[in-house]
Amino acid sequence: MKSSRWLIGMLLIAGLALAGCRATEEMAVDEEGGPAKVEHLDGAEPTRVTLTEEASKRLDVQTGTVRDMEVDGKTRRVIPYAAVLYDTEGNTWTYTCPEARVFVRHRIVVDYIDGELAILSEGPPPGTAVVIVGAEELYGSELEFEEE
């Protein structure tokens, strides 16, 4: 009886492992079809990334909002610190989301970080949606496009 349970358990595990491999292969095929369209606007900057519906679901991009708030007695423009992206040269960026599945990289100037907030001296206007989860993947899709 114990050996039957053991055998059934092993078959179940093997089946799950094979199913996992199949899903990975299907995802790789989907990615070859082009999960993102990258466009350079006005020369080199800014860059717009448009995701396919499937890529958007996989990345589960999440956004926060640019807002003006009082910091140390002054009205300052702030974004969630999670929305700040650093490139390899130390420049700071954020991705705005002007419409569903469309993301535009926007240069920002961070004055300082205060906990979970980045206080900006330059950035998008209040009310703008900024990416707080998924920005690294969006930037990676830009870099992949540039290398081709």
pLDDT in tens, 2-55: 444 443 444 344 343 333 333 222 222 233 457 888 876 665 566 889 999 999
- pLDDT of 34 reads 74
- Domains of the chain, residue spans: 1-33, 35-147
Q: The domain 35-147: what is its CATH number? A: 2.40.420.20
Phi and psi based region of residue 60 (left: phi greater than 0; alpha: psi -120 to 50; beta: remaining): left
CA distances from 91 to 11, 22, 78, 85, 143 (A): 52, 40, 17, 8, 15
For residue 76 the two structure tokens come to: 């300052």
pLDDT in tens, 109-124: 999 999 999 999 999 9
The larger pLDDT score, comparing residue 14 to residue 101, is at 101
Query: Rounded mean pLDDT of the chain?
Result: 78
SS3 83: helix
Cα 58-63-64 angle, rounded to 5 deg: 160
Q: What is the DSSP-derived secondary structure letter of residue 89? A: T
Q: How far apart are CA 59 and CA 143, in angstroms?
A: 17
Residue type, position 40, single letter: H
- pLDDT of 12 reads 41
